[in-house]
Amino acid sequence: EVQLVESGGGLVQPGGSLRLSCSASGFTFSHYVMHWVRQAPGKGLQFVSAITPNGGSTYYADSVKGRFTISRDNSKNTLFLQMSSLRHEDTSLYFCVVGDYGRLGGHWGQGTLVTVSS
């Protein structure tokens, strides 16, 4: 069974930093593109970042480019999101997602909440 478990969220002041982690199990983590998707309270889903299986290519939403860094440790089946220069508008539930539709399927973690507030 595919499992994705996010951690690292919390309350942080504007301008601060936070590192999110996503522990994966139930599939061959090193074979799949991984995504971070966020959802602000009461709002819709927003792509944040993606990383290819070997980490060689990364993709970012314009709103986080230059502030967030996605990475992965395939030896530990773990995905990361390093967030810096955080803003109020980054307040969201952050989901770790593997979307290999038609084969593995689309699987989401339960999310970790990031609150940016003074």
Partner 1 sequence: DIQMTQSPSTLSASVGDRVTITCRTSQSINSWLAWYQQKPGRAPNLLIHKVSTLESGVPSRFSGSGSGTEFTLTISSLQPDDFATYYCQQYNTYSWTFGQGTKVAIK
Residues in contact with partner 1 by the rule CB under 8 A: 33, 35, 37, 44-47, 50, 52, 57, 59-62, 95, 99, 101-102, 105-106, 108-111
Instruction: Give the shortest CB-73-to-partner 1 separation in angstroms.
Output: 20
Instruction: Give the shortest CB-60-to-partner 1 separation in angstroms.
Output: 8
In the complex with partner 1, which residue's Cβ is closer, 17 or 110?
A: 110
Which two three-digit tokens encode residue 99? Answer: 């979307």
In the complex with partner 1, which residue's Cβ is closer, 75 or 102?
A: 102
Instruction: Give the shortest CB-105-to-partner 1 separation in angstroms.
Output: 6
In the complex with partner 1, which residue's Cβ is closer, 80 or 95?
A: 95
Instruction: Give the shortest CB-89-to-partner 1 separation in angstroms.
Output: 17
In the complex with partner 1, which residue's Cβ is closer, 52 or 117?
A: 52
Contacts of 19 (CB under 8 A, 6+ apart): 8, 80, 81, 82, 83
